[in-house]
Amino acid sequence: MSALTTDDLTIVGGCLLFKCLDRNDLDSLLETGSLLTLARNQQLFAAGDAAKSLYLVLDGQIKLSRFSRSGDEAVVHVFGPGETFAEAAMFMGGRYPVAATAVGAVRLLAISNARLRARVLARPEIAFAMLGSMAQHLKMLVGQIEQMKLMTARERTIRFLLDQCDGGTGPAAFTMPHDKALVANRLGMTPETFSRTLAQLTERGVNVKGALVSVDDVARLAAALSHET
């Protein structure tokens, strides 16, 4: 197969799906893989397409989403470098249940289902790795359902901010992982509501300038989650 940079190989080796493989196993798996490049907004596959591969993101972001008849989109998750997706499809009747679209420019590695299947039979440890990966996804989806069912838009927004700040108690700052509209969709609200909510959180020490977000005091923001409006 085509040229993987050494950076790429680092990513592949660090991915929890493949880290259990030694060099030989990896090579034999990758030799049928192919390197793909997608432009911004280019679709990798649609919901219902035959599933012939799973994918590893090397660079950029891929969003998985579903569409209603009326064209409204529900983003299920966004995957970044080092993450694999569509593992589940090869066990689900061979159809992808969601669509995959490049958020920006994306490079990714496609790995043949058939090939991987054969590899699993030879080395059952891979199966454990896949189970672990899918278990993570399950947990994530459960978290999303919980959020949608029992948190308000404001609470989900705060929680998103805290997630991005990633622990700590003092001041923090970060940049939006992607378009605000996409973040809003992930959080299950409209861009308008997201914007308004962020503006309103100024009084809680949140400042937004473009894609840059700064939080005066993470602990204080976290406190806003529990006891209050």
Partner DNA sequence: CGGTTATTTGACGGGTATCAAACACCGTGG
Partner DNA sequence: CCACGGTGTTTGATACCCGTCAAATAACCG
Question: Quick one: what does residue 23 bind among its own copies, DNA, none, with the CB cut-off 5 to 8 Å set by partner type?
Answer: none
Interaction residues for DNA, span 28-87 (CB under 7 A) = none
Pairwise CA distance, residues 156 & 159, whole Å: 5
Which one of residues 180, 204, 216, 217 is an interface residue with DNA (CB under 7 A)? 180
Residue type, 117: R
Minimum CB distance to DNA, residue 21 (Å): 38
Angle at 113 between CA 35 and CA 109, to 5 degrees: 15
Can you tell me the distance from the alpha carbon of 137 to that of 140, in angstroms, rounded to the nearest whole number? 5
Residue selected from 194, 201, 215, 224 as contacting DNA according to rule CB under 7 A: 194
Strands (DSSP E) found in the chain: 34-38, 43-45, 53-59, 62-67, 73-79, 84-85, 99-102, 106-112, 172-175, 206-209, 212-215
Q: Does 199 bind DNA (CB under 7 A)?
A: yes
Q: How far is the CB of 120 from its own copies (least distance, A)?
A: 7
Instruction: Answer with the entry of its own copies, DNA, none that 180 interacts with (C-beta below 5 to 8 A by kind).
Output: DNA
Strand partners, 84: 56
Footprint of its own copies on this chain (CB under 8 A)? 66, 68-69, 72-74, 76, 88-89, 91-92, 97-98, 120-121, 124, 127-128, 130-132, 134-139, 141-146, 148-151, 185, 188, 226
CB of 188 to DNA, least distance (A): 6
Residue 153, binding choice from its own copies, DNA, none, Cβ under 5 to 8 Å by partner class: DNA
Q: State which of positions 141-160 bind DNA (CB under 7 A).
A: 152-154
CA angle (21 as vertex; 138, 111 as ends), nearest 5: 65
Distance CA 159, CA 163 (A): 6
Task: Rank residues 40 and 66 by Cβ distance to its own copies and give the closer one.
Answer: 66
Q: Residues 6 or more apart from 208 whose CB is under 8 A from it?
A: 198, 199
The binder of 135, among its own copies, DNA, none, by C-beta within 5 to 8 A per type, is: its own copies
* Strands of the sheet with 73-79, listed across from one edge: 43-45, 99-102, 62-67, 73-79
Output 28 or 214, the one with its CB closest to its own copies: 28
The nearest distance, CB 124 to DNA, in angstroms, is 44
